[in-house]
Structure 1
Amino acid sequence: MKAVIFDLDNTLFDHTGSAEAAVRAWLPSLGADPSDALVAEWFAIEDRVYPRWLAGELTHQGQRRARLHEFLPLVGHPVPATEPEQDEFFTGYLNLYKSHWSAYPDARPALELAQGNGWRIGVLTNGSTVQQNAKLETIGLAPLVDVVCTTESLGVSKPDPQSYLQTCAHLGVHPAETLMIGDNLALDVEGAQAAGLTARHLNRPAGNLLTDLLPRTWKRYDEVADVLRPRTDADWPTDRDRINQDVVNPHQDR
């Protein structure tokens, strides 16, 4: 491996936590109680509307307006009449979202580990160029990243094979020399593998953090650290012993 590409939202950057905190702080100004149900509706609407921007049906600002059209009636608040008024109204949420931006605790150690290996580091994200770069700057990870590729900068979104191949080209590496890590199995793993990259699934808490409808499995980068860590001669006896043990008892701890 010569490079590693990370997804951003809910991989390095805690989008769900930042957005949840922002919605809870925003709802009282709309005259609504920040209930679990309303926060869940906010994320459900985001999941329905955001893909329409990726598909080219809406502009990035247009998907924000569409979210207001769906959400505000739920809290009994009128939707602003004009698009400029809607854009201004959305900044109430957006400013709170920005104020809660944070990286996962294991994000910087993972980037530093990859950097220590001499690997090129990329970020590939289905997001807007300005906002995604601003996130990396705010959470302090930008200096550790060599290349940031977004839906806007590439003209394609994951899982289009060109999104991974173009990112590899920007990093100056071949797909077969590149590892992709992300929270979305279809976009960050299956899509990357189809394009010829190696991929690892980082399963952050799945779905909505406020319910138990989906598994809430935490996984740190510890499980992929061994992939990133360069081997030394001292490692091989341990590896050989483990291989021999597996041959003797191949089903142990499986």
Structure 2
Amino acid sequence: MPLLLLDLDNTLVDRDAAFRGAVADFFTEHGLPVSDLPWVMGVDAGGYTPRPDVAAALVGRYGDIVPTAAVRALLDTGSAARVVLADATRRALDEAGADGWTCVIVTNGRTAQQETKIRNTGLDALVHGWVVSESVGHKKPESEIFHAAAAVAGIPLSGAWVIGDSAHADIAGADALGLRSVWVSAGRPWPPQPFAPTHVAHDVASAIRHALGSP
């Protein structure tokens, strides 16, 4: 069966929108200026900034007003509690399964948080498994995490498609392994890189359907 390796945050689910909503509520609860929201999102960098560094920045800025425990709660549960799975994405995953594809989520992050997102959105019932960087000790774009995903599926990695929103994590990882890939652009231009995705799609549903239609 063909193998489809799918990123989680900002690919299968809109992690940034969920985090933005959590931060907005955090500001309201603690009387913080909403004008600081872009600053927090910049520090977070789409979830790629290490959590201890984000926590340190928030405590440094708001520590006189907000308990450190509240900051950590925001980072531990804020986005995980709010992410949703779009109907279009659900339908595309259903189509992939019906077409005989094996779908595995490959995500960087902390295991507890990422598995909460997978289960809360119902993705656990739509994919054949997942690997989280914290659990396997390797993160994208390292080849080991992609090999771990293939092992979860029990399918050779060769011939797999990789779908994700990150040029440096998803597409670079696929390129290093000689795998085909779809970059989920969300309207962004492809950044200058010494490599390129096989295909560019605006959203993950379109990306999945492109892979399904490949020879």
Instruction: Mark the runs of 5 or more structure 2 residues left unpaired by the alignment.
Output: 189-199
CA distance in 1 between counterparts of 2:46 and 2:18 reads 19
1:24 corresponding residue in structure 2: 24
Residue in structure 1 matching 2:173, options 169, 191, 196: 191
Aligned-pair CA distance for 1:95: 4.8
Asked if the contact 2:130/2:152 (under 8 Å) is kept, the reply is: no
CA distance in 2 between counterparts of 1:158 and 1:228 reads 23
Aligned-pair CA distance for 1:201: 0.5
CA distance in 2 between counterparts of 1:229 and 1:97 reads 33
CA distance in 1 between counterparts of 2:182 and 2:214 reads 17
Amino acid corresponding to residue 219 of structure 1 in structure 2: H
1:11 corresponding residue in structure 2: 11
- Higher-Rg structure is 1
Residues 169, 101 of structure 1: alpha-carbon distance in 2 compared, 3 angstrom cutoff: same
1:181 corresponding residue in structure 2: 163
Identity of paired residues, percent?
25
2:211 corresponding residue in structure 1: 227
Aligned-pair CA distance for 1:113: 1.4
2:106 corresponding residue in structure 1: 124
1:68 corresponding residue in structure 2: 55
Amino acid corresponding to residue 25 of structure 1 in structure 2: D
2:185 corresponding residue in structure 1: 203
Residues 182, 133 of structure 1: alpha-carbon distance in 2 compared, 3 angstrom cutoff: same
CA distance in 2 between counterparts of 1:166 and 1:19 reads 28
1:83 corresponding residue in structure 2: none
Query: Which whole-Å deviations, capped at 9, do the CAs of 1:70-108 have from their partners, x for residues lacking one?
Result: 12444574464xxxxx34542256555344221234321
Number of aligned residue pairs: 203
Asked if the contact 1:185/1:201 (under 8 Å) is kept, the reply is: yes
| SS class of match (1:12) | coil
Asked if the contact 1:41/1:71 (under 8 Å) is kept, the reply is: no
Amino acid corresponding to residue 37 of structure 2 in structure 1: V
Question: Could you list the runs of 4 or more consecutive aligned residues of structure 1 that deviate by over 6 angstroms after TM superposition?
Answer: none
Aligned-pair CA distance for 1:188: 1.0
Residue in structure 2 matching 1:97, options 79, 92, 105: 79
Asked if the contact 1:72/1:78 (under 8 Å) is kept, the reply is: no
TM-score using structure 1 length = 0.70
| SS class of match (2:152) | helix
Query: Which whole-Å deviations, capped at 9, do the CAs of 1:120-162 have from their partners, x for residues lacking one?
Result: 1100000111211110111111111111101122110001111
CA distance in 1 between counterparts of 2:105 and 2:126 reads 10
Instruction: Mark the runs of 5 or more structure 1 residues left unpaired by the alignment.
Output: 53-62, 81-85, 207-216, 232-254
Matched, 1:139 2:121: yes
Aligned-pair CA distance for 1:229: 3.9
Query: Which whole-Å deviations, capped at 9, do the CAs of 1:6-43 have from their partners, x for residues lacking one?
Result: 000000111011011111111022221222xx111112
Residues 46, 93 of structure 1: alpha-carbon distance in 2 compared, 3 angstrom cutoff: closer
CA distance in 2 between counterparts of 1:25 and 1:91 reads 13
Residues 93, 128 of structure 1: alpha-carbon distance in 2 compared, 3 angstrom cutoff: closer
